[in-house]
Every structure is written in structure tokens, then in C-alpha cells.
Amino acid sequence: MGDLMPVNEALGRILAEVMPAGAEHVPLMQALGRILARDIYSPMDLPPFDVSSMDGYAVRADDIAEGVRLRVIADVSAGQVLNGSMEAGEVVRIMTGAAIPKGADAVVPVEQTDAVWAGVAGATGPDEVTFRRATKRGDNIRLRGENVMRGQLVLSAGTRLRPQDLGMAASLGMMDVEVSRQPQVVIVSSGDELVTPGEPLPYGSIYESNGVMLAGLVEQWGGRATVLPTAKDEHGAVRAMLQTALALRPDVIVSSAGVSVGAADYIKAVLAELGEVGFWKVNIRPGKPLAYGRVGGVPFFGLPGNPVSAMVTAMVILRPALLQMTGQIDDVQRITAVTGDDIPSDGRQSYVRVTLSREGGQIIARLTGTQSSGALLSMVIADGLLVVPEGVMRLNAGSEAEVLLLRLG
């Protein structure tokens, strides 16, 4: 394994070169799933005033006792404000969400009075109301700043914006947010045996699946993916494909296949002509034939052609680079599990597909079956990738190991 670069060294060299993608402002309605580029601090208190949390009566708590009857001086609905202030012995009909009148320090729900209201839009009956029980200061009032205080950090840079995050920003009066620019990633592949899905499949050929899979991963990780048509295994075709990719002015180019030692693997050779190869062959399993370099000044990731190898190396090597470009928080969940099977290795840092179950208070990791780098179904049914560290030749059943979760929940 002496000619193979350790995974951490390879990743460190890549991250030392990867630059932030920059930022842009987008409207809130277009910001779902985008990565927040700057911390957001609240410019105001929320709620911005004391608010009634019930339909009922704004009162002075000291005035209220069982059987007491008081005069109703006004109605206040949400969006309205009482002119002046309440005096002792006065109450105000108030709706949920309305500002608490000056002089009031509690709200009594209508159900605790003898009032009969005609629906939620208002009330009927005499301008006096009898209370059935006492209340205390602060009852049924949402205090100013109870949710958010002015100057409070409400959303951190690196957050992937969810619907509730957008709602939070809107409640602060924001029309748009500053988000990381989405890196433009062009995905290329080559292979005479690859056929576009939907076309007839000649004997000896396979459908090309890496493009859509890698594009999905890129989009998941905050980038925008463009997949070019598969090139033939010809030096000129591969060169033309990379030049087409460069013409799209991408931030990253990702290839699958073409970087091993096969006679028809031209990607690495053309990369050396158009740019530079930073390194080739990483101590990882699956996925040893992995190249990194630059083509036309653009970072280039040459992933293996086998689908599991392509996906695992993308997760281990490409994903951290895209996260760094977009300033994201790494949210991969890692757990410790106990192996339910003997797991052999060849000394490379291995990412083994496992299913997980809880048994007797422990989380047990069992192999999905074949660990072939072409068995994409194993990634479909896997709950996680169990990490066998570099230099370890075998994990016996009952050993503890780190697992990177593939399924949430």
C-alpha cells in the first residue's frame, strides 16, 4: 500500500485548495434548501409588543375575583391598538394576537366569563361582563421579546434553509437572504459499453447510471449539476468532452471511469494534457483509482467507474470539498455499532455497506451481502457505511466500529 495516499492526506490536500464559491442574495421564496452565507441577528423583539394569546378580556389582575362584574370600554382585534389606557375597574374585549392595552396586565379567556360571543369576529351582549374566577398578572400574555430578543442570533451561517427558517426570516421583515452561491458541477463519463437509459441495450453493454446518481449527490450537497453525454473511449472524444465541460465555466468537474490502468482509460491522460494531476490512487476501498487535479484551472475529481466506488468516493472526497465551497455545516451522522459479522479487509481504509438493528441495547451492524463495487443494490439497502481503518486486516464479530449513516431517523 506504499504507493497509495492515505484518505486523510488526500482530503487535506484538496481542502487546502478549494475556495469558497461566493454568495448571492435570493428572495425568500427561492431560498428553500439553500445554504445561508451569513449569520442572521434579529433587528427586533418578537413579538414586538405584549400580545394576547387568547380571545377574551384584557384586565387588571387586581380587579378580578369570582363574581366581579366590570365595564367593557372597547374592542381590540389583531392589528388594532387601544387609544389611551385602561383605568381601574375597566376591561377591554381582545382577540388573539392583539396588542395588550396600556394598563392591562392579564387576559381572561371568554370561557371564564358569562359573555356570549358571536363567533371569533366579535362579541354581543351588554357592555359589562362577570368573571367566574380570579386571575394573576401575566396570564395569557405573550410578552414582548418572549420568542426572540433584539440582537439575538436566530440563524447561523452554514444552515441549509428549511421552511421554518424562511418563516423566521420573514417574521423579521426580511424579503431576501444572503446564501452561498451554488457551485456549478459538470459531470462527465466515458465508456464504449455505456448506453443511455431508455435506449435499446445491446448484449455486452450496460446502462449508464453514475451520471444521474452523482448529479443527485451534488444537488443534495448544495451544488448544481450538469451531466454531459457519455464520451467514447477515444482520446479525441475524451479531450473534446473535457473541453465542452470547461466551456460551461464550471466550478468543479467530476468524471466517473477512465482513471484506472486500463488501455482505454483516457481521462487521466487527457487531464495531464489540459491541466495537471495532483495525485492518483488513494488508499480507499472501494475506489482506489481516484484522481484529483485541475483542468483549465478548474478542480477535477476523477472517480472510479464502478457505481459503488463512484458513490463512496464522492461521499468521502467530493462531499467535503462542496461543503467547504458553500460554507455548510457537516451534518453526517456518525454512530458506534457492534459488528454482527466478521469483516475482512485488505488494509485499505474501507467503507463497508451494512444494515443496522438494535438488539439487546446495542446497535448491530451486519453486512448487506456482496461488497462488490458494482453491486449498487447494496447501497440501496444499506443503512450505513462501516469504516474499517487503514492497516486493519479484519474486524471480528463483536468489534466496535464507526458507522456513517445513510438513512436518517
* Spatial contact of 193 and 217, defined as CB atoms under 8 Å apart: no
Q: Where are the beta strands (DSSP E) in 128-262?
A: 128-130, 141-142, 153-155, 176-180, 184-189, 194-195, 206-207, 224-227, 252-256
DSSP one-letter code for 118: S
* Residue 151 CB-density burial (10 A; 0-12 exposed, 13-18 middle, 19+ buried): exposed
Q: What type of residue sits at position 54?
A: M
Domains and CATH numbers, the chain: 7-21+181-326 (3.40.980.10), 23-46+146-180 (3.90.105.10), 51-142 (2.170.190.11), 334-405 (2.40.340.10)
All residues at 6 or more sequence positions from 297 whose CB lies less than 8 Å from its CB, including other chains: 275
CA dihedral of 22, 26, 29, 33, whole degrees rounded to 10? 0
Grid coordinates 424562511 are at which residue? Answer: 166
pLDDT in tens, the chain (409 residues): 557 899 999 999 999 999 999 999 999 999 999 999 999 999 999 999 999 999 999 999 999 999 999 999 999 999 999 999 999 999 999 999 999 999 999 999 999 999 887 654 444 456 899 999 999 999 999 999 999 999 999 999 999 999 999 999 999 999 999 999 999 999 999 888 899 999 999 999 999 999 999 999 999 999 999 999 999 888 899 999 999 999 999 999 999 876 554 534 677 778 888 988 887 789 999 988 888 999 999 999 999 989 999 999 999 999 999 999 999 988 889 999 999 999 999 999 999 999 999 998 999 999 999 999 989 999 999 999 999 999 999 999 999 999 999 964 3
Q: How far apart are CA 361 and CA 339, in angstroms?
A: 14
